[in-house]
Amino acid sequence: MTSAAARYSIPSAFTGAEILLPVPTLSQETHAGHYPEYDGGGEAWCSPTSTAMVLDYWKYARGFTDSGPTEAQLGIFPGAHDDGQVDYAARYVYDWNYQGAGNWPNNTAYAATFPGMNGFVTRLRSLAEAERFIAAEIPLVASINGNLPGFLFKKTSGHLLVIRGFTPTGDVITNDPAVFANADADKVYGRADFESVWLEGSAGIVYVIYPDGVSLPPNVEGLDKNW
């Protein structure tokens, strides 16, 4: 099968406008050492941290108050920590067969356990397609792998982060959980750099998490539907 990166030029043309969705920032590294039985936080928790950020966006920025664990649910989870929604997500996305918290369908299935929430995994063909979701005010969790300038660990060996906007020149505004403090998760990556590690690294995998009543953007005319 031909990869998305081989079939589409990198970088894709930026056809949208500057936009920034107010997705709350969270760090995976502040959870290093938490719950070794669920893979121990830190670098292992990029996926549940990204999923938790998107659920927080719907809950706090968009007013879908059921889109995440309740205080009562967090209260019964043993050993409460700051940003307990991340620990909670890691517990419920953890794959005992894979022995990790990065199972893609498990993360979207976890998001869809909350009332009115939906989630699925798909592959996009370019950032131009991702722009459609951001314009519809739906942030995306993207899977990347490779050398990414500005990334905390220089090279990813499989990493998840949130796409939440684009600069006026089409560079990618992310909430990258690979940081040592929540506030530092707001990071911008060059369009070509990001598209390379995304399309070549995972063939464009994203999690799409959204509530009932929010419409997905239209598919690209003339291409196979991929959402």
Is residue 104 within 8 Å of residue 204, measured between CB atoms?
A: no
Annotated domain spans of the chain: 16-211
Furthest CA-CA distance within the chain: 52
Q: pLDDT tens string for the chain (227 positions)? A: 344 444 568 999 998 899 999 999 999 999 999 999 999 999 999 999 999 999 999 999 999 999 999 999 998 876 667 899 999 999 999 999 999 999 999 999 999 999 999 999 999 999 999 999 999 999 999 999 999 999 998 788 899 999 999 999 999 999 999 999 999 999 999 999 999 999 999 999 999 999 999 999 999 999 999 99
Q: What's the confidence (pLDDT) of residue 81?
A: 77
Chain centre to alpha carbon of residue 61 = 16
Please give the helix or strand (H or E) that residue 144 lies within, else none. Answer: strand 140-147
Please tell me the predicted confidence (pLDDT) of residue 34: 93
36 phi, psi to nearest 5 deg: -55, -30
| Whole-number pLDDT of residue 186 | 98
- pLDDT at res. 16: 83
User: What ranges in 95-145 are assigned the alpha helix state H?
Assistant: 104-111, 127-135
Whole-angstrom distance, CA of residue 20 vs CA of residue 136:
11
Which pLDDT score is estimated for 6?
46
Q: For residues 160 and 178, is the Cβ–Cβ distance under 8 A? A: no
3-state SS assignment for residue 42: helix
pLDDT score recorded for residue 113:
98
Paired strand residues for 189 = 172
16-211: CATH, from 3.60.15.10, 3.90.70.10, 3.20.20.70, 3.40.718.10: 3.90.70.10
